[in-house]
Amino acid sequence: MVLHGVAKPTEVALALQSGPSTVAALDVPTSIPVLWEHDAATDRLTIHVPAHPATQETQIRVSGVPATGAIKLRHRLETIGACATDALKTAAGYDMAADVVAPIQETAKAANADGARYDEDELYRRVSATTDHVQGAWEALAGAESVNETSRQEVMARLVGLTASASLGAAADPEAREIRASVSTRVPLPGAKLSATPVLPNWWRQTGSGDGERGISSADGTLSLSYSAKPEKAMSEPALGALVFGADMTLEWRGVRLPVAARTSLDCSFVQQWHLIGSFSNRDGKGLEAVYEPEKGIDLTASYPGLDGTAKWQTTTWRLPTASDDAAVFIDLEPRFKPKDQAIAYAVAYIVSDEEQEAILSVGTDDGCKVWLNGEIVLTHPEPRAPSPGQDHLEVVLKKGVNTVMYKVANEFGQWGLFLQVTGRDGVPLSGVRTTLKP
């Protein structure tokens, strides 16, 4: 690691990648007093560097020795102790009975003994005995009749340091997505098995492997599975909300099954399907107040006199975001209509709701706009502005069935377009809502 001067005392933390190890020394220039400390349990090296001029290069070389068997066993013991202590705190919060908590207490006591006093052989015996304690606590929790299922599952997960996650990525097929679900346990569980069933949004199907039963590596306590999925048919009425992906898994160890859910979601709360028509005059900024034919009554088969001849309706298509940070979809009017300066365009979207529900319409435009919902004006913003999602937040009620949103977007010069995001009042994506191009 090389530092080219720091203006104030700096602390650098490094996670060593070689597994549990010992750090023997740091090789640094003698003119710069560097302090360091190494946490063997987490294998985290923290280096404290004093301020020094940028002209003075600081090269820091970490030297040491690979982890010995004793260090690895000591690390294993500390990990089991930390998980058992965490499980104890959780059990106390649920006010579990003493006979249920006792095996966890024994596990924590056995694991939190001062491992530094023991040689490798004794550490091995203690790790083996403590692992037996974990097994006993696991089985006691599974058989406890006085514990409700939710609290039982949480304490069992904490006892072995279980975590689950899911992620979403691009697939070779541009219409598909790659889903990865992972389970890890900080405490190795010899002989454990994991079965998994993919979780997909409606109208999606699995196209790659990912189900079945697999063993969890006793070396690192992890398992990952990947599968690809794509919509069963063209998304003519895509969901307007969150698409949820992941896996429902079952961890089985010592004859006891623990359900594990891994989830991730894709934000599809921006409206992408629109009918557009333009352009109409916005000369001298008077276009927003002028009443052009589309706002007298929506007729998607009609055409009207426009600034550049006949104005006809056109549509935009829906695309699946790559990730949630790719969710904001800007409907760019600039390349669609000519002339684009001092012009007006209309945009119509149809939002279908399975039930009446409260919602937020988050509006963004370049420049000014008027917005109608089901024939009523809900926003007038005449001033020019640069586009950004969520410039205006409108509290509305979506009726059951088809809801019509119409934008009238003015442009002075340059960029021209709109955003529309639909969420619940709490900002969370809605369920039972979709868009369609059919009124």
We find that the CATH architecture of domain 275-436 is Sandwich (2.60)
Nearest to 422, CA basis, from 315, 347, 349:
349
Q: Report the C-alpha dihedral over residues 170, 171, 175, 181, rounded to 10 degrees.
A: -80
pTM: 0.72
CA distance linking residue 78 with residue 100, whole number of Å: 22
* Structure-token pair, residue 405: 């949103």
Which one is the CATH code of 164-267: 2.60.120.10, 2.40.37.10, 3.40.50.2000, 2.60.40.740? 2.60.40.740
CA atoms within 13 A on the CB side of 357: 20
From first to last of its 439 residues, what are the pLDDT tens digits of the chain? Answer: 444 444 444 444 444 444 444 444 445 554 555 565 555 544 555 665 555 454 445 555 554 444 567 778 888 888 999 999 999 999 999 999 999 999 999 999 888 766 567 778 888 888 889 989 999 999 999 999 888 999 999 999 999 999 998 988 888 888 888 888 888 888 888 888 888 888 998 888 888 765 444 444 444 567 777 888 888 766 788 889 988 999 998 888 989 999 999 999 888 999 999 999 999 999 999 999 999 999 999 999 999 999 988 999 999 988 888 776 667 899 999 999 989 999 999 999 999 999 999 999 999 999 999 999 999 999 999 999 999 999 999 999 999 999 999 999 999 999 999 999 999 999 988 989 999 998 8
Is there a contact between 427 and 360 (Cβ–Cβ < 8 Å)?
yes
Each domain of the chain, given as residue ranges in start order, spans 2-66, 69-159, 164-267, 275-436
CA distance linking residue 436 with residue 351, whole number of Å: 7
Q: Using the 8-state DSSP alphabet, how is residue 217 labeled?
A: P
Is there a contact between 116 and 74 (Cβ–Cβ < 8 Å)?
yes
Strand partners, 381: 369
CA distance linking residue 168 with residue 208, whole number of Å: 14
Strand partners, 290: none
* Structure-token pair, residue 181: 């679900």
CA distance linking residue 84 with residue 105, whole number of Å: 7
